[in-house]
Amino acid sequence: NNEQVVAAAKAALDNYGAGLSSVRFICGTQNIHRDLEKKISEFHGREDTIVYASCFDANAGLFEILTTPEDAVLSDELNHASIIDGIRLCKAKKF
């Protein structure tokens, strides 16, 4: 019931609506995404940040960033589908 939080929530609702109909990949990146990522980067003293809406999206993007064609990834069939998809999308050798 913090008045500042309630006011900020109302302002965000007025500016951005109740939410996007899907993830950034489909609906695009909004200024609020970039602002949040910039603040997180500054807080942690990092060059850049990526905020994912779900762990599924994070896993889909993670392996592409962390692996190269010279890397190998060992994966188990019992891994979560997001891990399996992330590995399928990356350039590393798959085992």
- Nearest CA to 60 out of 40, 81, 34 is that of 81
- Nearest CA to 53 out of 85, 7, 21 is that of 21
Q: Is the pLDDT of residue 25 over 80?
A: no
pLDDT at 54: 86
Indicate if 1 and 46 belong to the same structural domain.
yes
Indicate if 95 and 56 belong to the same structural domain.
yes
Instruction: Tell me the β-bridge partners of 92.
Output: none
pLDDT at 60: 84
Indicate if 41 and 67 belong to the same structural domain.
no
Indicate if 43 and 58 belong to the same structural domain.
no
> Chain-wide mean pLDDT for the chain?
90
Tally the domains of the chain: 2
Query: DSSP string spanning 29-91?
Result: --HHHHHHHHHHHHHHT-S-----SSHHHHHHHHHHHH--TT-EE---TTS-HHHHHHHHHSS
For 28-72, write each residue's pLDDT tens digit: 888 889 999 999 999 999 999 999 888 888 888 889 889 999 999
Q: Report the distance separating Cα 45 and Cα 1, nearest Å.
A: 32
